[in-house]
Amino acid sequence: MTLIECIPNFSEGRRPEVIDQIAAAVDGVDGVSLLDVQSDPTHNRCVITFVGHEEPIAEAAFRAIARAADLIDLNQHEGAHPRFGATDVCPFVPLRSEEMPVCVETAHRLAGRVAAELGIPAFLYEDAARMPEHANLTVIRGKGFEEMREVIGSQPAKTPDEGEARVHATAGAVAIGARFPLIAFNVNLDSDDLDLARRIAVEIREKDGGMKCVKAIGLRLDDGAVQVSMNLTDYRVTSMADVVEAIGRRAGAAGVAIRESEVVGLLPQDALVRLAQSALHATGFTRDQVLEARVLDTLL
């Protein structure tokens, strides 16, 4: 058996009672450990993290997707974060890189079940993609639920891997995948200049010629400030420190400071070790110098 992490994102960040019910669906599966639940009202999105072996974790993911479909109506949903499903994405992440094939197989089986039993079309993305057009989640999602209703099935990138080429009336579609650990990381600027945040996002993101393995958009927060919201798809290539430096330099040129940053969900320990190496210029620092890591190694 293989221990897997699952980090589904749901299109709900404002109703705690709904988030609690989705989390309870996960927590009710034997053999699954619920690690973290985070929500954001501006994005109107929540992220739930849990671990387990392949069979129970697939069951927990299915129950969460089903519960979200019962409770979330995308026709009534508004938020700053792009979305096309009540469960927008459901990635499986191996705790050891050599076990990625198990995550791919788990994603494939779950996608088939979601389409067959819930009537929600499923796209398989990143390492689980069956066609090259589905490797990039951004290409699949496009402009979100409203666009997907019109274009689903019209081209390979918009054709689901499982289920009919027709969105669920209220739950939309879902992207189910397998991938390397991703870091969801946001940098908030001490400014209300949305154009500045959007310009910085364009300049630093990979698809527009910026930093490798960075996806970014500029958003306005509820308090009027602005944010550069990012996914770092490979922290070994571009780290949190790298993007903070790049954003700070561009914001500073406009006379704006960084107000704060925030991590969404959980971080791999290796990312923090690399961050310490960079921030402290401690090139020889390793995981073996982390007290808790050494204790766990001794006990396990």
Exactly one of 81, 108, 134, 281 is catalytic; which is it?
81
CB atoms within 10 A of CB 197: 28
How would DSSP label each residue in 2-14? -EEEE--EES-SS
Q: Per the structure block, which two tokens stand in for 209?
A: 């010629």
> What are the strands, taking DSSP E only, across 119-173?
122-126
| Cβ contact 7:14 at 8 Å | no
Strands 226-232 and 183-189: antiparallel
Burial class (CB in 10 A: 0-12, 13-18, 19+), 111: buried
Contact indicator for 36, 49 with CB cutoff of 8 Å = yes
> Angle CA(226)–CA(227)–CA(232) in degrees, nearest 5?
170
Cα–Cα distances in angstroms (integers) from residue 245 to residues 56, 98, 279, in the given order:
41, 32, 11
Q: Respond yes or no: is residue 81 known to be catalytic.
A: yes
* Active site residues per annotation: 81
